[in-house]
Structure 1
Amino acid sequence: MEKLISHQLVNYLEERGIEHIFGLCGHTNIAVLTALEESKIKFINVRHEQIAAHAADGYARVTKKAAVVLSHLGPGLTNAATGVANAALDSIPMVVIAGDVPTHYYGKHPHQEVNLHADASQYEIYRPFVKRAWRVDRPDLFPEILEKAFLLAESGNPGPVLVSVPMDIFSKKIDVSLFDRLHRQTKSLQKPSIDDETAKSIVQKLINAKNPVLYVGGGILLADAANELKELVDHLNIPVAHSLMGKGALPDDHDLTLGMTGFWGTKFINEKCRTADYILALGTRFAEADSSSWEPEYTFDFSQTKLLHIDIDPSEIGRNYPAEIGAVADLKQALKVLNRVAKQLIPEGVKNEALIKEIASYREEFKASNEEYIHDNSFPMQPQRILNEVREVLPKDAYITTDVGWNKNGVGQQFPIYEAGSILTPGGFATMGFGAPAALGAKVAQPDKVVVSLVGDGGFGQNPAVLATAAEENIPVVWIIMNNFAFGTIAGLQKAHFGTTLGTIFEKDGEVYSPDFASIAKAYGVEGIKIQSAEEFKPALQRAVASNKPVVIDVAMLNNPVPTSGHWNIMDIYSPDKKVHHVSV
């Protein structure tokens, strides 16, 4: 029996458990949209493909399964590219299904074909950042390619894949047996672990160490290994520092959580890592900002410290620092073995009350350093007060998305996260425009959770059309626009090092300028609130959360830099003879 590929594709996705597809229409994919009309899969319609990719990214981070993006060819696919690349650099599983030119027109330059260097070559655009890009040249190969795409996206180091499908193939019929035979194929692969001998070596080194530290990255969250991490920490009483992407892997109120390292880390946290004799690194690539540009006098000094490194991706082990032991494994599986071995080697566990008291004292000191800003009634508001009041209002299990700037760096440094995986932030690509649409995806994935997006005015301005989707689909996200009338972080850098702010602050006729985001929200059919004083913010947020509707809160914020004693080599590139970071603008 033969059926249209477009209908068999939708049936395949249903059987795979796909519940939502994010995308935008085009003449190359309407056969699939038509097949979706009678499907239980919900199509989340957007106004720009970058929104679709970022929303799918947020959805995948929450569900821990590959999200699906449906795109048109050419400009549709390139519009989505930034969002797909962001997912790739943060190891987020995603399957992008894109329409393409008809097979019988390859090279004739039909409408929107990419063919300057090779015929029908749009799929090559994605090659630098997806795990694999397929062009489907024969209809009978489509089922097999689709199965491979999902398996590859979700296995090993996860990431996006592209399946580029000529529009005529969507409308061809093939024998349903080609899809039916896929039922015999496993839908997930067994994940690698470590052997007992390796685990014993690692645990023994940690037990014997004088100042061990666990350093965790986003790989812990991708592997859903937060519980296993906590079990190891509680048994061995080893402090935990984390990268930006590892925030929340261990709750911020845990006695042994140090905090984020690197440029936006504090001197206390960086010193704990720099002076460690052993570091067990779990699921981290030691990124530049997290590692103070890899300069040994600031955060990590592996000429003195011994590194034990476990990651699912072998290319990350030894990339930036030499490892005494390197193990390729899924972190959930590896931590299960480490926990079992640790309890065999030292059944009573380890106690370190002095360290716990030291960390508690540091936290009190750090909190005190922010008190004057948290209680400052000035308007525009202090960013520290905004973050503090957001934390007070939200339940512990609320999902937070950030963009870039104060909302990302400040949250990483001083906003407590209590539930693993409840903060979604753009790490590897640091994409401005991620936070607002990622919140849509998170809320679609977890409709019963509170979802708040902390974004700057620059970031929200990238993709304001998220509001159309929120209104149409009634997706009750709260967007808090921390509005400093600028690309504030870059403005602070430029002013500090070059004495100008050209191109970084928003001005009209010599005065600071911002669109009225509250009015823009209302024009989209979404509630918009423009804060006029510091005292108004917290009650407005409480009402917005309670309303269970999409709401935009536009709050003016002072453009002060995120306080940091950390180091990033770009400062030396700008000003080799100075010791300056950012300044207020």
Structure 2
Amino acid sequence: MKTDKNIAQYLVNKLEKEGVEYIFGYPGEQVLPIYEALRNSKIKHVLVRHEQAAAHAADCYARITGKYGVCIATAGPGAMNLVMGVATAYKDNVPLIVITGDVEKADRNSDCFQEMDINGVFKPITVKSYYSCTPEKLENNIEEVFNYKKSGINGPFHINIPKDVQNKPMNIHHRTITKKKIGDVIESSILDTIKDIDDSIKPLIIVGSGVIYGGCIDELKTFVEKTQIPLTTTFTSRGIISEYDDINLGLTGTRGTKEANYAAGHADLILALGCRLSDRTLKHVATKNIIQINTNVEHNRAGKFYNYNIKEFLEKMNEKDLPQKDDKWLHRIKSQGEYPPNEIDKTDNLHPEEVINTILSKENRNITFIFDAGQSPTYFTTNSKAEKHGQLLFSGGFGPMGFALPASIGASFATDDVIIACPGDGSIQMTIEELATIHTYKLPVIIIVLDNNLLGIIKQWQDMQELPNYQVKLDNPDFIGLAKAYGIDAEEITSIEQLSMKLEEAIEKRKAKLFHVMIEDVHIPMPNH
């Protein structure tokens, strides 16, 4: 029998029973009953300084753990401030539970203070947006959200609850109805896939983050060990198998490794597991012989598409006597070598690639790297190797500026790693208030501000199109002074040697630190490989 006094308490108790440990949020009038329930819960609330940061923090927590990240905001402006972060998660199918309060039911459609069609806004950027206007609906909605996750369907889910409903008593006689969202794996699909593997000479696996969120990394590793099929990944699944392992060719697509892109261009069979096969991922794929397993039918871009739970599919495959491929194909791929390193010219300020290479030289440690939109992701992507999944994090398909700083907050609650966040001078100013959150919770986040006084990537596009530079110059603040105002130790970096030494010290201390690095205005390489 349900014993929760009201719906707000039921919701919080349900989240706690499902294993939610953290909620990232910002309180407001229309979510006060939920906050009162949280006050007496084991769930820890992380008070950010802007609602966008709550969504980005929850997103990054989910990217690392594979669990639901949860964020909360009040009605009207609070809910609207979540939109950027929710859209970012939606683009990459990151599992989020987004909770918003709303005006009372009687005030709906009355144009009252802070009223907004919240569900109308969230509908196109979530798997589902619920208006939980009765206790029974709320219970069915939250049950369905967790049922989706168990079925392998991931992405943001939005639950919008009027304030008066949050205080309503729980209906102890109401029974929820649950049903499986994805069909069972059919035996013929397994046998057909095994035959296709057996018939292939140059098979390749492309893995997406659906394998992480589906909780089947071990099943993937078993499948790869049994078949010895080379593997490549999308960005969001980098390190799912160590990139130091020969079987993992690294990132595929627009910024992919030479080995991965050679394999994509010459494979005669591709198994796309838990990935959406975006335009960037498919850039070098030549064969039409693609088998895709995904729970999202909107991502159907293959010759054969199976709408299955990826975990169940891999479990069924691993039960069979799978064909093992010989190593000639892998040797042929590995013989291609790597792309030559970029030439680094000496400049007045530090070269951005040299700075980033120094940061990445610490990668074989318990460190998670988070970078922002702009020029730096190309260097971080092409010059790095991931030992484990979640070690290199980027905002992915949506690419908003301002991601790195709040994402580092979520990462700090998801892993025991030291977090190194690398925003540009433009990006950090979009969410710089989150330095306060990092200070408040004493998070081990090292922030390295890469400062060229520019919106560098926009200037580069203007240069490439032979347009005069316009509105790309930044008159930046004193980042050292700002960090110290927020209670975070900060230093100016003027040499590579100093950066290496100071970064090592900061990693050892595991305390928040900001480094300001002036870098040269240099065009990033725009590889067409």
TM-score by length of 2: 0.91
Counterparts of 2:319 and 2:353, CA distance in 1 = 42
**Alignment deviations for residues 70-100 of structure 1 (CA, whole Å, 9 cap, x no partner):** 1111111111011011111111111122111
In structure 2, the residue matched to 1:578 is: none
Shift in alpha-carbon separation, 1:83–1:517, aligned structure 2, 3 A: same
Shift in alpha-carbon separation, 1:326–1:36, aligned structure 2, 3 A: closer
In structure 2, the residue matched to 1:574 is: none
Counterparts of 1:437 and 1:453, CA distance in 2 = 9
- Of the candidates 187, 199, 212, which is equivalent to residue 190 of structure 2? 199
Shift in alpha-carbon separation, 1:398–1:176, aligned structure 2, 3 A: farther
Counterparts of 1:14 and 1:246, CA distance in 2 = 28
Task: After superposing the two structures, state which structure 1 stretch, 1-10 or 491-500, moved more.
Answer: 1-10
- Of the candidates 132, 143, 148, which is equivalent to residue 144 of structure 2? 148
Letter in 2 for 1:359: K
Counterparts of 2:22 and 2:173, CA distance in 1 = 24
- What are the residue-to-residue correspondences of 1:73-472 with 2, within 5 Å? 73-114=75-116, 121-152=117-148, 155-172=151-168, 174-175=169-170, 177=172, 194-265=185-256, 269-292=260-283, 299-302=284-287, 305-318=288-301, 322-323=302-303, 325-341=304-320, 344-346=321-323, 349-352=324-327, 355-356=330-331, 359=334, 362-363=337-338, 366=339, 369-370=341-342, 373=344, 380-446=349-415, 448-472=416-440
Counterparts of 2:150 and 2:427, CA distance in 1 = 29
Asked whether the equivalents of residues 312 and 328 of structure 1 are also in contact (C-alpha less than 8 Å), the reply is yes
- RMSD (Å), alpha carbons: 2.7
Asked whether the equivalents of residues 226 and 420 of structure 1 are also in contact (C-alpha less than 8 Å), the reply is no
Shift in alpha-carbon separation, 1:485–1:156, aligned structure 2, 3 A: same
Shift in alpha-carbon separation, 1:259–1:345, aligned structure 2, 3 A: closer
SS at match of 2:281: helix
Shift in alpha-carbon separation, 1:149–1:228, aligned structure 2, 3 A: closer
Report deviation, 1:54.
0.4
Shift in alpha-carbon separation, 1:204–1:253, aligned structure 2, 3 A: same
Shift in alpha-carbon separation, 1:412–1:140, aligned structure 2, 3 A: same
Report deviation, 1:268.
5.3
In structure 2, the residue matched to 1:481 is: 449
Shift in alpha-carbon separation, 1:12–1:208, aligned structure 2, 3 A: closer
Report deviation, 1:470.
1.0
Letter in 2 for 1:549: K
Report deviation, 1:353.
5.5
Shift in alpha-carbon separation, 1:563–1:237, aligned structure 2, 3 A: farther
Letter in 1 for 2:385: P
Task: After superposing the two structures, state which structure 1 stretch, 98-107 or 264-273, moved more.
Answer: 264-273
Shift in alpha-carbon separation, 1:89–1:460, aligned structure 2, 3 A: same
Letter in 2 for 1:555: V
Shift in alpha-carbon separation, 1:192–1:425, aligned structure 2, 3 A: farther
Asked whether the equivalents of residues 260 and 269 of structure 1 are also in contact (C-alpha less than 8 Å), the reply is yes
In structure 2, the residue matched to 1:66 is: 68
1:544 aligns with 2:522: no
SS at match of 1:245: helix
The unaligned stretches of length 5 or more in structure 2 are none
Asked whether the equivalents of residues 192 and 333 of structure 1 are also in contact (C-alpha less than 8 Å), the reply is no
1:52 aligns with 2:20: no
Number of aligned residue pairs: give it: 527
Letter in 2 for 1:165: I
SS at match of 2:75: coil
Shift in alpha-carbon separation, 1:165–1:329, aligned structure 2, 3 A: same
**Alignment deviations for residues 182-232 of structure 1 (CA, whole Å, 9 cap, x no partner):** 7xx88x969766444433332333333232222222223222333333333
Report deviation, 1:257.
2.6
SS at match of 1:559: coil
Letter in 2 for 1:326: F
Letter in 2 for 1:29: V
Asked whether the equivalents of residues 31 and 163 of structure 2 are also in contact (C-alpha less than 8 Å), the reply is yes
SS at match of 1:3: coil
SS at match of 2:357: helix
Asked whether the equivalents of residues 259 and 413 of structure 1 are also in contact (C-alpha less than 8 Å), the reply is no
**Alignment deviations for residues 363-420 of structure 1 (CA, whole Å, 9 cap, x no partner):** 3xx3x524x54xx775633333233322322444432222222332322222110112
